């Protein structure tokens, strides 16, 4: 079984993330979405809520939930890859500017774990402008983000803004 790990903050998950996940499921038998739990950063949504939102988004979009696991991780991505019995890291690219940073990470990960490869998927054109940071900023100013994120994320964002 070909397993890949799709790491990220997913704070919040966007339709672009789901697009990359769908593409990865076309190549891999199983994809483990690993939500980064970084104790040095203050996330918009807590890690457990991000996991729940990703799971709900998978159900909302009709992706095959039996082929996707959603969990959290701390530390090195390559360790999470090994923990899940995978040999591939899935990453999404929106633009050339993403490639430079992602290439550097891929090279570092390859140095840390020579048995792990990074596979890049381009997001669909309609999601190329979307980022979690942009979604949070638009939502904070009262903008409509419902075309950028799944319904579960819209609700989570509203809840987070109400708590602030």
Whether 2 is catalytic is: no
Catalytic residue among 40, 41, 163, 164: 41
pLDDT interval class at 3 (50, 70, 90): very high
Catalytic residue among 23, 30, 37, 132: 132
Question: Tens digit of pLDDT for each residue in 33-57?
Answer: 999 998 888 899 999 999 999 999 9
Cβ atoms < 10 Å from Cβ of 144: 9
DSSP 112-152: H-TT-EEEEEEPPGGGTT--HHHHHHHHHTT---TTTS-HH
Whether 94 is catalytic is: yes
- 124-130 contacts: CB < 8 A, separation 24 or more? 124/16, 124/19, 127/14, 127/15, 127/16, 127/19, 127/94, 128/16, 128/94, 128/95, 129/94, 130/14, 130/15, 130/16, 130/94
Catalytic residue among 37, 50, 94, 127: 94
pLDDT interval class at 110 (50, 70, 90): very high
pLDDT interval class at 96 (50, 70, 90): confident
Whether 132 is catalytic is: yes
């Amino acid at each position: 079984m070909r397993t890949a790990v799709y790491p990220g903050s997913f704070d919040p998950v966007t339709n672009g993330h789901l697009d990359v996940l769908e593409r990865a499921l076309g190549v891999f038998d199983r994809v483990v979405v690993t939500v980064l739990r970084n104790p040095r950063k203050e996330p918009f949504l807590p890690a457990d809520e991000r996991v729940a939102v990703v799971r709900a988004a998978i159900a909302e979009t009709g992706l095959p939930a039996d082929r996707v696991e959603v969990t959290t991780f701390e530390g090195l991505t390559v360790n999470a890859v090994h923990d899940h019995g995978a040999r591939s890291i899935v990453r999404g690219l929106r633009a050339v500017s993403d490639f430079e940073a992602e290439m550097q990470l891929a090279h570092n990960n390859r140095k840390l774990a020579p048995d792990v490869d990074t596979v890049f998927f381009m997001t669909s054109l309609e999601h190329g402008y979307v980022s979690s940071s942009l979604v949070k900023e638009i939502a904070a100013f009262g903008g409509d983000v419902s075309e950028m994120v799944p319904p579960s994320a819209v609700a989570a964002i509203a809840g987070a803004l109400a708590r602030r």
